[in-house]
Chain A
């Protein structure tokens, strides 16, 4: 693997509301190499989006997140602002992510105006134009407003805005979940192309395992804020170790009636089973659960070329 661009150690995100504390991310550690794409999968409430928000400092978090020589979680003021140039995000709802009162040229040009204020307006406009063309939008769209675009086009605008500063890391928070089937493939291909072209690292959050396989070289599986398994794509999809990973993969419907129906391996639902602290967070839904799972929290151990947090997973 190439040298790590991002090193996250023991990331914890807690939300407090009405005196109650909810732990959304519970001690997650991982590395992301330069030019690498890492997938984050898990059910709703697994902490996927909280990790992205914590890295962007949109929610308070503890732990360490080393990015290009500094700890993202400790930065303040001007230093924090400066990292935003290298760390950008695209969102699930692309239309909600664009200011409805700004024209496309202003939306995509805003990062340049903020971070390259000395750039003449004409050059800025030329950069915006070429970026829009690169993501597949016509220059005639420059003076239009977001409501004039479809979801797929709006996501292209979001990508153009995120990449116009040439960041090193792009966080993708469910970027295709709200797009139509025929548009999803276009955006997935575009992200793959841009990653290669710009040497981008991607942290790609999605609940759709088939899309993640298409985009990501490594995949980490989260459940209730904890890392269940992290492995290279080949291993995770062909020989998943953790029972939760297996349940997720078995539940994906296959567009082929001759194929077995999606299997409901994991009983219950995320977030509905009360878990007493101490054991494995997945144990109530796990087909392999035994007495040890209730008493002892499994720590991450090496399996093949990945890591898995399960007492009973195959090595």
Chain B
């Protein structure tokens, strides 16, 4: 099925450069049991120095999006659309060119730090490998850069740590090492895939503080993927909400949390147990469950669970700009209900 061209959330602020421009991105896997459409017609931009949060449930395509940007989907995946880094197309780029960009321009931090590190190699070797290949650093120059970065990510005794193996470090420390490794070649964009999900809440707070500090210090742009709206509130400038492979809402963080305009965003926010609100007898849960990834595009994917479902929801809603002073927010919903009406529907 062809991806339909639609209006794209454009960078309306002339003051900042656009690092990434993703247009109508589709990621599909064709298998014997049908086609899994992991990412469906996704368009967005990432500006210099910004942190774009991407939130959604398992199977919504958020990790597949990051893989597409890094060229990690594998041979079975079919990619369509476009993803440009500073005007250069990433989809279908030559492997050599992608290898030159990875780590150097776009670097990734994975959820499972133990799985992301090679258990047979010392931390130092793994940290230096990319920098030596990409920047042509000597062994000693790479080692001292690695030691300095370990200090940046607040790991004590860096010289000792460089000689240790991944299993000798705690989960939080391994995730710090992963972040340091991603920063070795001073990338412009950090892709973070659930970087705090596997961590204890106290350690998560430490890593979030570290990431915020790194942003301030280095100005690195981030795409922060998570299922936790609470985590994104602490770090994201803008938040994109994904559901069933599509972006259903994109807005500045303050606006998205205060006045969610998509019923799914509102439903997620209202159904979360939270410590800053009075205790409720029952959580206003979203009924049902997310559709399977091979489901056809028969109208709005969220319609079967939506409290505000309407006849028009049988057709697929396009992502449209919300008429506001800044015009920086986008929603894929036929509904033109006010945020108050949406809140009432869930509570």
Contacts and interface: CB of A to CB of B under 8 A. Distances in A.
Q: By CB atoms of chain A within 10 A, which of B228, B229, B275 has the most?
A: B275
Given A150-B289, A152-B289, A180-B57, A253 B202 contact: no
Given A185-B286, A188-B283, A251-B202, A214 B273 contact: yes
B176 to A, nearest CB: 10
B275 A182 contact: no
A181 B227 CA distance: 7
A18 interface: no
B273 A185 contact: yes
A255 B283 contact: no
Q: By CB atoms of chain B within 10 A, which of A249, A250, A253 has the most?
A: A253
A44 B273 contact: no
Contacts of A184: 271, 273
B230 interface: yes
A67 B75 CA distance: 57
A258 B228 contact: no
A73 to B, nearest CB: 29
Nearest to B269: A255
A263 B205 CA distance: 6
Contacts of B287: 186
A43 B205 CA distance: 13
A167 B251 CA distance: 48
B279 interface: yes
A185 B57 CA distance: 13
B282 A255 contact: no
Interface stretch (B8-16, B93-101, B206-214, B313-321): B206-214
B276 interface: yes
B30 to A, nearest CB: 22
Interface string B75-95: 000000000000000000000
A310 interface: no
Contacts, number: 149
Interface string B162-190: 00000000111100000000000000000
A214 B200 contact: no
B3 interface: no
Given A150-B289, A271-B170, A252 B284 contact: no
A269 B170 contact: yes
Interface in B234-277: 234, 236, 253-254, 257-258, 267-269, 271-276
A261 interface: yes
Interface string A84-120: 0000000000000000000000000000000000000
Interface in A239-272: 247-259, 261-266, 269-272
A207 B200 CA distance: 8
Contacts of B173: 269, 272
B170 A182 contact: no
A302 interface: no
Contact of B273 (A210, A262, A272): A210
A256 B232 CA distance: 9
B234 A185 contact: no
B254 A254 contact: no
Contacts of B206: 264
Interface string A177-197: 000111111101100100000
Contacts of B209: 261-262, 264
A209 interface: yes
B58 interface: yes
Given A189-B285, A257-B253, A264-B205, A252 B57 contact: no
B269 A252 contact: no
B80 to A, nearest CB: 27
A211 interface: yes
A49 interface: no
Contacts of A266: 202
A186 B283 CA distance: 8
Contacts of B254: 257-258
B2 interface: no
A259 B276 contact: yes
Contact of B230 (A153, A237, A252, A258): A252
A274 to B, nearest CB: 13
B205 A251 contact: yes
B204 interface: yes
A213 interface: yes
B141 interface: no
10 contacts: A43-B200, A181-B227, A184-B273, A185-B271, A185-B284, A188-B283, A189-B282, A214-B280, A251-B204, A262-B208
Given A255-B233, A257-B257, A262-B234, 6 more contacts: A43-B201, A180-B289, A181-B228, A233-B279, A250-B205, A272-B173
Closest 9 CB pairs of A and B: A185-B285, A253-B230, A185-B271, A251-B205, A185-B283, A180-B57, A262-B205, A210-B273, A43-B200
